[in-house]
Amino acid sequence: MGELKNKRIITVATTGAWPTKENTPNVPIEPDEIAEEVYNCWKEGAAVAHIHVRNDEGKAAMDFSKFEKVVSLVRAKEDCDIILNLTTSGGIGLKEDDRIKPFHELKPEMASYDCGTMNWLHTSVFENNPAFLERLGTLMQEVNVKPEVEVFDPGMIYNAQYYLKKGILKGPLHFQFCMGCAGGIAASTKNLVFMHDCMMEVAPDSTWSAFGVGARAMEILYAAVAMGGNVRVGMEDNVLYKKGVIAENNMVFVARAKRIIEEFGLETATPAEAREILGLGQ
């Protein structure tokens, strides 16, 4: 792994659950739009694509047919080797079976594992109860899909420690520090250092990535690169490229992240390198 120490993985989250065409006409919603955006982000330097889909009304959903179409369209791009990471949390109040089916049947290399329940945006409950988390982790191991352990506060890191000890999760883990979401930890460098320290206490052989939502997204991007982490960008987390400027597409976020990584004297990881860093397929 020594030759990979200067590599940084860019994950692109093109769609997410919340931005609509009313928020920005540039967010990809339809499966063909999402797949094309993923392909173009790969060409810009993204090694991982975190996939959400929407229903026919453009709302958050875990519609299997939409996932199936996105995955098939991306996989049909013969020159594209981007790592697919399917969400298991396409919205609030969705059926557990629907959350599981896409990764269990389509077998991407990764899928999200939201490691705890939280009050979401001060309006609702994002539920990930213990029985569901045990089922989710067990089924991910069954089909050899690596969990991306998404944590929105430090307590979720210690939840991951519990499931690791219990064998529900298998190390080395990969964490995604989700920062700045209302109901979770605020996006700041100080908090990122604290989250990282908690992770090092729990599972020091882990890999990690981070993103910030909203006005402090750039702070988290810079800090994650400087601290040796990987980064996530895209319209799931921010639709503004900078204050008052709506992003034209997801590719501009990937291109900026790549520039920052390279200005820091590092290199962006290719999908093949990302697979080695993350231990995929092992």
Beta bridge partners of 176: 150, 209
Specify whether the CB–CB gap between 224 and 209 falls below 8 A.
yes
Tokens encoding 185: 């930890």
pLDDT for 174 equals 98
DSSP string, 153-185: SHHHHHHHHHHHHHTSS-SSPEEEEEES-BTB-
- Structural domain containing residue 189: 2-278
Please provide residue 149's backbone torsions phi and psi, each rounded to the nearest 5 degrees: -80, 100
Quote the percentage of the chain above a pLDDT of 70. Answer: 99
Average of per-residue pLDDT values in the chain: 97
pLDDT for 220 equals 98
pLDDT digits 0-9 by tens, 100-132? 999 999 999 999 999 999 999 999 999 999 999
pLDDT for 2 equals 63
pLDDT digits 0-9 by tens, 132-174? 999 999 999 999 999 999 999 999 999 999 999 999 999 999 9
Please provide residue 84's backbone torsions phi and psi, each rounded to the nearest 5 degrees: -95, 135
Quote the percentage of the chain above a pLDDT of 90. Answer: 95
What CATH number is associated with residue 19? 3.20.20.70
The domain tally of the chain equals 1
**pLDDT band of 281, cuts 50, 70, 90:** confident
Specify whether the CB–CB gap between 108 and 84 falls below 8 A.
yes
Q: Please say if the pLDDT value at position 209 is more than 70.
A: yes
- Report the alpha-carbon distance of residue 274 to residue 187 in Å, rounded: 25
Q: What is the pTM of this model?
A: 0.97
Q: Is 107 buried (19+), middle (13-18) or exposed (0-12) by CB count in 10 A?
A: middle
Q: Please say if the pLDDT value at position 25 is more than 70.
A: yes
pLDDT for 147 equals 98
Q: Please say if the pLDDT value at position 1 is more than 80.
A: no
